[in-house]
Structure 1
Amino acid sequence: MMREAAPAAEGAVLLLHGGAEHGLRRPSRLNPPARRMRPFARALRHPRLVVAEARYRHRGWNGERADPARDAAAALSALRKRDGGLPTVLVGHSMGARAALRIAAEPGVAGVVALAPWCPPEDPVEHLAGGRLVVVHATADRITSPQESLLTAVRAREAGAQVCRFVVAGGDHAMLRHAGLWHGLTTAAVHGLLGLRPLLPEAVSAFALPPGSTDGLEVRAVAGAGA
């Protein structure tokens, strides 16, 4: 797990990269999904924030094994032990977002930022009650379903979570198109969830909605968001 030191840290963020549906081999040294998260690590730098990255033992989710969720929980526990239990935001992309959602009720988790999340409709959401979730998804994503992430956001809201979902017009799964928008929204969401800066106004409004309400749940992401 890579860490960036922050002597006066008040919060932490754990980055969870994507992967495959199935795969018991170890990730390669190059590990493109992990490299995809490095620009987010740079964007998130803050003198009061520890940035860490989970490492997986296997490439895939692997059905009921849910290997990345187990690895994410272990990484979160190790991070909390080293940093004295700082409140932590989980930032996951694709399969990593699924892992983040799965462990969102672990002690010390202050919120989840799910980027282009893999959200099978059978995954549980009841444990998200009382938590805070920010989803960012591109409308042109052909790898993970924007419709399924919307369904999960609605289900999480109904279960009692505070949820805001940003929609990136067009875009792609790899978050290369409109990269600055992805980085800016993620940084603003993490810093806001940890109280390092005010929450985005769109998130404040969406979080205040009553359970089960979908009006105002979705927000169109625009250039300059999070700036």
Structure 2
Amino acid sequence: MVLLLPDGEPESLRTPSPFSYARTLPLGRALARAGRGDGLVVHSVHYACRGWNGADARLAADASWAVEEVTRRYGDVPVCLAGHGLGGRAALQAADHPAVDSVLAMAPWLPDDDGAAELEPVKQLVGRRVLIVHGTNDARTDPELSYRLAERAKKINRNICRFEVHTDGNALRQHHPEVLALATDFVLGSFFPHPYARPVADALAAPPPLGLRMPLAAGFGKSLRH
């Protein structure tokens, strides 16, 4: 089961944006198509509101609720949390549920950790396979913050990697086919007995900073099974 977590806003009580949900559809379709033969199911999580809202961490709470609902409806099935922006932050934070097998965080929105009293948590990522994807020209979510989180997480979980999409922005549109191919390879390789593509396997095995600043090559996926 893959649960798609759309982007949101740092502070808001408004209803979720249909545009944010629409932006997750290409990923959902790509995953559903590639994993159909293996029994992969993809669902979107619909938030109660679009705001993270400080200590309430509403989007992470909604993600945790959705994982619990999956286990109630489907039983003991592994779950991948796949989110963009604040949905990426929710995916990372909600990984503490025992059903969560893997996390895909795309351009995750993270708070500035300079001088922060408490750093963004990473202990919940132990035992999970984690892929972070970030554009180097992202003006909305600082890619350096996702690198620093990945660096801290790598110290307690070797199964984490991070890819940089050079010259791409927050929406990851410039290299969209490659990003979808990377995400699909990671999810199928995490769930099923499919080997990861060589760049993903190398990134997981490499020590920092190499495995956390892996460049996403142009044309990634054209020669893969997807």
Q: Does 1:143 align with 2:140?
A: yes
Q: Distance in 1 between matches of 2:148 and 2:170?
A: 18
Note the C-alpha offset of 1:192.
0.9
Give the fraction of aligned pairs with identical amino acids, expressed as a percent: 39
Note the C-alpha offset of 1:161.
4.5
Query: SS in structure 2 opposite 1:159?
Result: coil
Q: Distance in 1 between matches of 2:84 and 2:98?
A: 21
> In 2 relative to 1, CA 170–86 (structure 1 residues): closer, same or farther, beyond 3 Å?
same
CA contact (8 A) 2:9 2:50 kept: yes
> In 2 relative to 1, CA 175–206 (structure 1 residues): closer, same or farther, beyond 3 Å?
closer
* 1:225 partner letter: F
TM-score (norm 2): 0.88
Q: Which runs of 5+ in 1 are unaligned?
A: 1-11
Note the C-alpha offset of 1:159.
2.6
Equivalenced residues, count: 212
Q: Distance in 2 between matches of 1:217 and 1:142?
A: 20
* 1:182 partner letter: V
Query: SS in structure 2 opposite 1:216?
Result: helix
Q: Distance in 2 between matches of 1:161 and 1:70?
A: 26
Please point out which of 66, 78, 83 is paired with 1:87: 78
CA contact (8 A) 1:128 1:161 kept: no
- Indicate the RMSD between aligned Cα atoms, in angstroms: 1.6
Note the C-alpha offset of 1:105.
1.9
* 1:42 partner letter: R
TM-score (norm 1): 0.88
Match of 1:194 in 2: 191
Match of 1:76 in 2: 67
| Runs of 4+ deviating beyond 4 Å | none
Q: Does 1:225 align with 2:220?
A: yes
CA contact (8 A) 2:79 2:102 kept: yes
Which has a greater percent of helix?
2
CA contact (8 A) 1:54 1:75 kept: yes
Match of 1:34 in 2: 21
Note the C-alpha offset of 1:209.
4.4
CA contact (8 A) 1:105 1:131 kept: no
> In 2 relative to 1, CA 182–209 (structure 1 residues): closer, same or farther, beyond 3 Å?
closer
Note the C-alpha offset of 1:17.
0.6
Note the C-alpha offset of 1:163.
1.2
CA contact (8 A) 2:123 2:153 kept: yes
